Amino acid sequence: MLADRPPFEDLYRDFLGRIYAYVRAQVTSSADAEDITAQVFMNAYQAYGRFEARNTTPAAWLFRIARNATLDHFRAHGRRERLRRTIEHQPVSEHDPAGMAEERIQYRALLAHVARLPERQRDAISLRHSGLSFEEVGVLMSCTEDAAKMLYHRALKALRESARAEMA
């Protein structure tokens, strides 16, 4: 129903940053994150006429599109490329202080650890900290709310171990 649907511009303004952050936590370059985020909103813009607010929340709808776009990106680049990029991804480089300044502000180092988690754990962390409820995370990941909670907590512990290992 049209009356249930906020203007797309509102959605764009409210969710652009969150979607970007979600995507950025999955991929290893801000350029890729921008490309995927652009694709997400292009797709959402075209599909907004079919969005039914009574069936899902705008957040869940947009994050589903974002999740699919990110998976498409990985498929297009191939698993090998993804693995290479993940392995090559290093913490903040001292050779790029400007990028470092921005990354320092943007907590890039932590998100780099998130990006190295197994796919489902990464997804659970990213969706949850993008503001979705466990119920919404479960729906998007095709599991129950309780399973989403368990997955999230396992991911959190894995993330802690990853961060510890780097500091050691």
Partner 1 sequence: MNDDEDLELQALQRRLDDAFQSTRPRTGFEDELWSKMQARRPVWVRVGDFLSGLFGTIREVPAVPAAAVAVVLVVALGIGIIARSGIHVGGGGSSPSSEFTSTSLGASRNQGTFGRLPVPAAATSVPPKVANPSSDVAAGSPANSYAGPVNLAWAGQLPANLANAPVYRYTEPSAADADQFASSIGASRQAGTAGLPGSYAGSGFVLGVTGSISAFAREPSYAITPDRSTLPPPGPTPVATADAYLAAHSLVPAWPYTVTTANAADVVRVLYLRQFDLPGGGRAYLVDRTGERYGIEVDLRNGQPLQALGPMPLYLDVAVYPIISGDQAVRSALATSPNRSASNVPTVQLTNVDLAYALAIAGDHSFYEPVFVFSGTFTQNGVAYVKRVIVPAVGP
Q: How far is CA 154 from the centre of its chain?
A: 18
Please report how close the Cβ of residue 80 comes to partner 1 at its closest, in angstroms: 27
Please report how close the Cβ of residue 58 comes to partner 1 at its closest, in angstroms: 13
Q: Which is nearer to partner 1, 53 or 156 (CB)?
A: 156
Residue 7 Ramachandran class (φ > 0 left, ψ -120 to 50 alpha, else beta): beta
Please report how close the Cβ of residue 63 comes to partner 1 at its closest, in angstroms: 12
Q: Which residues bind partner 1 (CB under 8 A)?
A: 12, 16-18, 20-22, 24-25, 30, 33-34, 37-38, 41-42, 45, 94, 96-102, 104-108, 110-111, 114, 125-126, 128-131, 156-157, 159-160, 163, 167
Q: Which is nearer to partner 1, 83 or 110 (CB)?
A: 110
Q: Which amino acid is at 29?
A: S
Please report how close the Cβ of residue 111 comes to partner 1 at its closest, in angstroms: 6
On whether the CB atoms of residues 121 and 26 are closer than 8 A, the answer is no
What DSSP line would sit under 101-141, residue for residue?
HHHHHHTHHHHHHHHHS-HHHHHHHHHHHTT--HHHHHHHT
Q: Which is nearer to partner 1, 22 or 61 (CB)?
A: 22
Q: Which is nearer to partner 1, 36 or 80 (CB)?
A: 36
Neighbours of 91 (CB within 10 A): 12
Residue 131 tokens read as 């503001």
The single residue listed with the structure tokens 């979600």 is: 22
Q: Provide φ and ψ at 104, rounded to 5°.
A: -60, -40
Please report how close the Cβ of residue 87 comes to partner 1 at its closest, in angstroms: 22
Q: Which is nearer to partner 1, 40 or 82 (CB)?
A: 40
